[in-house]
Chain A
Amino acid sequence: MTQYLVDRISQSVVVLAVMSFVIYWLMGLMPGDPIDLMISANPKLTPADAARLRNLFGLDIPLLERYWNWLISAMSGDFGFSRLHAKPVLNVIWPALWNTTLILGLSFSFSILISIPAGIIAAIRQYSRTDYIINITAFIAISIPSFWLSIILITIFSVVLGIFPAGGMETIGIDTIWDKSKYLVLPVATLTLLSLGTQLRFTRSEMIQTLRQDFILTARAKGASEFRVVFKHALRNAMIPVTTIIALEFGYLFSGALTIEIVFAYPGMGKLIFDAIIGNDFNLAMIALLLATCMTLTGNLLADLAYAWLDPRISY
């Protein structure tokens, strides 16, 4: 197990290192470099000035060397300044990270609370009307474009009914938890619906497969109650792969959160990354993307470890 842990962690570190180079390289291929931006801000700059500035900022040295310099300063904790926000990068990232964690955490908890019981019910009553409805709901949930669902919910609840605000985080001047939570309802509801589908389908199919196993037959033959068979014998076994999928979903949910944050103008990591990329804020985009990579890698690592830890048949 320790060997496995060391292997998996070092693999994640390698991926992160490779990705940091790839992202750095891609950032250099984005339209407009810092000097282009200066030229557009100051038309008096001559090409000779531009060349001098490129030299001054070290933009004319080879890619690998530039990356190495960036890496050295990043390692020493200097992540640079954000161009859009005129603040050190970390000061911009922390609040966004907290905001994203908040909506991800809330919608994640809600969707698990709904999908697992619903998945179990669908599995126990396979091919019944309830199962059919649950299954169709799950199919639709995985097929809805996230941004469209957000727009429709805004139309219904903000424009037509006027119950919840259409976007943002708080009403300026009102600083209460009640006010803030009103802004969270629609983004969290959208994200919950989006993550529900996969979890529901997976819980259902795992439960159905487990209920067909021989040990369930044995449990029934011994006269165990149906409740005991389902919750004690079947559920515990079915939950092993379900846990893995749920942890894996985390990365997927991060992508889902991105579009939702943009539509709801919610200041989280997804919107931050999008705005940074569109606004040529290279320092910020670089660190935010790496942090996002780090988060999804951790989710995957936890999924693998949970699998190894929960299933006693697997030994490393």
Chain B
Amino acid sequence: MIKSQSPDKSLSTWTLAYHKFFRHKLAVCSAFFIVVLAAVTASAPLIEFALGVDSREVNLLTRFSKPSVDAWLGRDELGRDVLLRLLFGGQVSILVGFVTAICAAIIGTIIGLVAGYHGGWIDAFLMRTTDSVIALPLLPLLIVLAGLDLTKLGLPTNLIESDSISLYRIILIVSLVSWTTVARLVRGATLTIKEREFVLAALSQGASSTRIMRVHILPNLASPIIVATTLSVGNIILVESILSFLGLGVQPPIPSWGNLLTNAHELIYTAQWLAFYPGIAIILTVVAFNFLGDGLQEALDPKGEI
């Protein structure tokens, strides 16, 4: 129960959600964990600078060295500091997860909003398309998309040869297949909201449909979109790690948690511990995002107990 200061003072939706969220201990811990993780991985270059080491420097004399004071988690097959590589990899994996989830949410919101608001054949067409995308074998298709020859798509050569092209590519192709959940949720919510009085009032005052969707319906869709996006970040981090592990996602020299594990399969007979850390990092992060999404869902659910 939330004690409000005076009994007749009502709490706003967001204050209520805020209070409810803080009762969900796992979600609060997860939010804390994510913030700390993001801060630590983001400051990886600073840590590198402070320690005076270069995480990309290859030193074959120190390969596979055990954890020590210089390298807390030991060194990898090329003598690089495992902890620093892990932090740089985390930077990329978390960034890709966030950006992709937001891109997918934008695509899904537009499709769901248009389908739900206009109804009729537009709705039927968009929703059949959504169902069809859900019914596709996504990983095999992502492998095809990741393997495309970009010169045949007519992209400029300097872009294709840049290091970060693999980042843009993975964000683009994963968002192309991850918008479906948001689209369905947004459509469902739009269907009920568009019948409400304030929408009819706006309509009677001559507001255009774009304005109604943007100003009157969209703000009311915030909670399903926030929940679905948070829950999808974890999933996207997993997909990114699989593709990068297979050598089709984020490409070296840019490290990501997935491509740190590419070599791990060959090293299981010599250096098992190298496979351990990136996997644990992925699990913790994905679990945290799932808990956070769950907590937000409960907090933002108007039907839930107060």
Beta-carbon contact of A143 and B147 below 8 Å: no
Beta-carbon contact of B137 and A255 below 8 Å: yes
Q: Is A251 an interface residue (CB 8 A)?
A: yes
A window 271-292: CB within 8 A of B:
273-274, 277-278, 285, 289, 292
Which secondary structure characterizes the binding site on chain A? Answer: helix
Mask for A104-130, Cβ within 8 A of B = 1, else 0? 000000000000000000000000000
Beta-carbon contact of A155 and B275 below 8 Å: yes
Residues of A within 8 A of B265 (CB): 147, 151, 263
Known: A19-B136, A139-B287, A295-B137. A145 touches B242 (CB 8 A): yes
Interface-located stretch among B77-85, B109-117, B148-156: B148-156
Residues of B within 8 A of A273 (CB): 140, 143
Beta-carbon contact of A296 and B147 below 8 Å: no
- Total count of chain B residues near the partner, CB < 8 A: 42
Which secondary structure characterizes the binding site on chain B? Answer: helix
Among A143, A154, A293, which residue has its beta carbon within 8 angstroms of that of B137? A293
Interface-located stretch among A23-31, A53-61, A220-228: A23-31
Beta-carbon contact of B140 and A292 below 8 Å: yes
Residues of B within 8 A of A297 (CB): 135-136
The complex places the Cα of A23 from the Cα of B234 at a distance, in Å, of: 28
Residues of A within 8 A of B153 (CB): 29
Q: Is A64 an interface residue (CB 8 A)?
A: no
B269 nearest CB neighbor, chain A only? A159
The complex places the Cα of A214 from the Cα of B156 at a distance, in Å, of: 64
Among B137, B144, B264, which residue has its beta carbon within 8 angstroms of that of A277? B144
Residues of A within 8 A of B268 (CB): 151, 154-155, 159, 166
A296 nearest CB neighbor, chain B only? B137
A window 1-52: CB within 8 A of B:
11-12, 15, 18-19, 23, 26-32
Q: How far is the CB of A8 from chain B (nearest CB, A)?
A: 10
Beta-carbon contact of A151 and B290 below 8 Å: no
Q: How far is the CB of A141 from chain B (nearest CB, A)?
A: 10
Size category, A interface: 35 or more
Known: A139-B287, A259-B245, A277-B143. A148 touches B282 (CB 8 A): yes
Q: Is B286 an interface residue (CB 8 A)?
A: yes
Summed over the interface, the residue pairs from A and B with CB atoms below 8 Å come to a total of: 137
Beta-carbon contact of B242 and A15 below 8 Å: no
Residues of B within 8 A of A285 (CB): 144
Q: Is B246 an interface residue (CB 8 A)?
A: yes
Residues of B within 8 A of A256 (CB): 139
Known: A140-B287, A142-B290, A144-B283. A296 touches B136 (CB 8 A): yes
Beta-carbon contact of A15 and B135 below 8 Å: yes
Beta-carbon contact of B261 and A147 below 8 Å: yes
The complex places the Cα of A29 from the Cα of B138 at a distance, in Å, of: 18
The complex places the Cα of A296 from the Cα of B272 at a distance, in Å, of: 35
Residues of A within 8 A of B258 (CB): 145
Residues of A within 8 A of B242 (CB): 145-147, 259
Q: Is B134 an interface residue (CB 8 A)?
A: yes
Residues of A within 8 A of B278 (CB): 148
Q: Is A93 an interface residue (CB 8 A)?
A: no
The complex places the Cα of A147 from the Cα of B264 at a distance, in Å, of: 10
Q: Is A258 an interface residue (CB 8 A)?
A: yes
Q: Is A254 an interface residue (CB 8 A)?
A: yes
Give the interface centre of A139, A142, A143, A258 by most chain B CB atoms within 10 Å. A143
B window 248-270: CB within 8 A of A:
258, 261, 264-265, 268-269
Beta-carbon contact of A255 and B149 below 8 Å: no
Q: Is A270 an interface residue (CB 8 A)?
A: yes
Among A18, A19, A140, A151, which residue has its beta carbon within 8 angstroms of that of B264? A151
Beta-carbon contact of A143 and B135 below 8 Å: no
Beta-carbon contact of B135 and A300 below 8 Å: yes
Residues of A within 8 A of B148 (CB): 26, 29-31
Q: Is A262 an interface residue (CB 8 A)?
A: yes
The complex places the Cα of A153 from the Cα of B269 at a distance, in Å, of: 13
Residues of A within 8 A of B138 (CB): 251, 255
Beta-carbon contact of B152 and A29 below 8 Å: yes
Q: Is B128 an interface residue (CB 8 A)?
A: yes
Known: A159-B269, A259-B245, A259-B246. A251 touches B275 (CB 8 A): no
Q: Is A185 an interface residue (CB 8 A)?
A: no
Among A23, A144, A149, A255, which residue has its beta carbon within 8 angstroms of that of B139? A255
The complex places the Cα of A154 from the Cα of B268 at a distance, in Å, of: 8
A23 nearest CB neighbor, chain B only? B144
B285 nearest CB neighbor, chain A only? A143
Beta-carbon contact of B149 and A31 below 8 Å: yes
The complex places the Cα of A256 from the Cα of B239 at a distance, in Å, of: 10
Among A143, A295, A296, which residue has its beta carbon within 8 angstroms of that of B234? A143
Beta-carbon contact of B134 and A300 below 8 Å: yes
Q: Is A152 an interface residue (CB 8 A)?
A: yes
Beta-carbon contact of B143 and A254 below 8 Å: no
Known: A29-B148, A263-B265, A292-B137. A145 touches B272 (CB 8 A): no
Give the 4 A-B residue pairs with the shortest CB-CB distance, closest first.
A255-B139, A148-B279, A143-B286, A31-B149
5 inter-chain pairs at a CB distance below 8 angstroms, sorted by A residue, are A12-B135, A31-B148, A155-B275, A274-B246, A293-B137
Contacts A31-B147, A289-B137, A296-B136 given; 19 further ones with Cβ under 8 A?
A: A26-B145, A29-B152, A29-B153, A30-B144, A142-B286, A145-B238, A147-B241, A151-B264, A151-B268, A152-B275, A154-B268, A166-B268, A254-B137, A254-B139, A255-B140, A258-B143, A273-B140, A289-B140, A293-B137
